Chains A and B, each alone.
Chain A
């Protein structure tokens, strides 16, 4: 019971990270119909710029990362990183993807792979983040917000609710609510959905398509940055930018988007949690060596049964 509860809570925290990243994939796919392979590299950028701020910038400003009030982190550092990555996302779209607006989708996909390779290997250069792993300084105290005990005597097992997990869950939850509001309750969100539904018609209706697409990239990239930030809070050992871990993280988030129904914002969140649960419970109850295998097995299974994902709507090619 204790193990089950603990696994459940880890899965919830990780699931919200997957969901945050998956949102970026699904929004871009919904509008431009290609997998933005470089999206996971924005997560990396978010993670590494968090490290740079905590390890280089803060000490130079005279702050000790351990004594900085947690409110600061949420109110200043996180928004700064999101803003920065959002800007990078804008630049990428402007330079690499916009010239291909009318090109076949395969070409855009290849470009996305190119952008991803470029960012990875640029990040590995010495004047950027370097090619070796680093340790993220602890910004949050290692508080246990609550702990429960199950069983008695020798068999007592403790379940801990940590500050980090709670913060991940709360922050990403807040961001997702903001996004939900943006997409379904604002004029801009309506424009995004219109462009996603039919770009040409949206343009004829006077929607500034290019600006909407730019905005989508900014939005997706800043969510990815937040995910990168939260990720290094939970796992302080940061791998170098071109490490497989990052690609797998991005890949799983994309799988989450596909499982939820690509192009569907709520589906991406659902998919993120589904993936995390399958992965965490599989890792705990079957074998942790094959955690990546479960996720892809689930993907292939779902694609074969319901190719449009859990919440996706069927598509037909016009003949």
Chain B
């Protein structure tokens, strides 16, 4: 499996001052895989996402997406190469409409420059129409097309979470990083979310890496799980294996908090 991994991460780590937030993190995520990343609060899960997306640059190790080297890349370059993410605390563009939140992805592969934009050339119009159509399609897949003109700020919490995921999908990613998508959802919504994460993976042909606190959800849908504690990987494997690992149980029940 490791030879064909889409996202190939080896021994990345970062320290803030003296604090080693993440050490020797490795991951082999195959195309279409659905993997989980769990651990107690403060274990460094979100930091791993920030490393993978270039918000922080790893001090050491290597990261590749297929043939593209990701080390030292800026966040927007990493997004362009095919990794998209959501945020633990929702980060939509509150004063843009739902449609514009999604259409923003269009500038990523825009072929029209400043002059074409300002002169409103035919090529520009064509590209903009394309973009709008794609965005509305995406919205209708998630049953949000009738909210296209509302401000992102005015959406309900559940819709905001949904919009974040579909906005990330608009960048045409090959890997989708979801940071606690079930936070704040009720049990029923969680059930629906589990279904739709699988559906997203199948329909959009993305590999998914999921940070989640809800064990039931993670164990239910993830094929493999990595467990972090204090920045160190303490266990890695299929759900069954992780569930029974004494180190994982100790991390959750013991000092991990």
Give the interface of A toward B (CB within 8 A).
316, 319
Contacts and interface: CB of A to CB of B under 8 A. Distances in A.
5 contacts: A316-B16, A319-B46, A319-B50, A319-B55, A319-B87
A183 to B, nearest CB: 24
Interface residues of B, number: 5
Majority SS at the chain B contact face: mixed
A316 B47 CA distance: 13
A319 B87 CA distance: 8
A316 B56 CA distance: 10
Interface string B24-61: 00000000000000000000001000100001000000
A270 B16 CA distance: 27
A316 B46 CA distance: 15
Contacts of A316: 16
5 tightest Cβ-Cβ pairs between the two chains A and B: A319-B55, A319-B50, A319-B46, A316-B16, A319-B87
A73 to B, nearest CB: 48
Contacts of B50: 319
Contacts of A319: 46, 50, 55, 87
B59 to A, nearest CB: 15
A316 B21 CA distance: 14
A319 B44 CA distance: 12
A319 B55 CA distance: 8
B46 to A, nearest CB: 7
B237 to A, nearest CB: 28
Contacts of B46: 319
A316 B57 CA distance: 13
A257 B55 CA distance: 29
A108 B179 CA distance: 33
A319 B50 CA distance: 8
A226 B236 CA distance: 65
Nearest to B87: A319
B214 to A, nearest CB: 22
Interface in B174-214: none
A319 B14 CA distance: 15
A319 B46 CA distance: 8
Interface string B72-93: 0000000000000001000000
B231 to A, nearest CB: 16
A319 B53 CA distance: 12
Nearest to A313: B17
B19 to A, nearest CB: 11
A73 B215 CA distance: 73
A318 to B, nearest CB: 9
Interface in B224-251: none
A316 to B, nearest CB: 7
A148 to B, nearest CB: 49
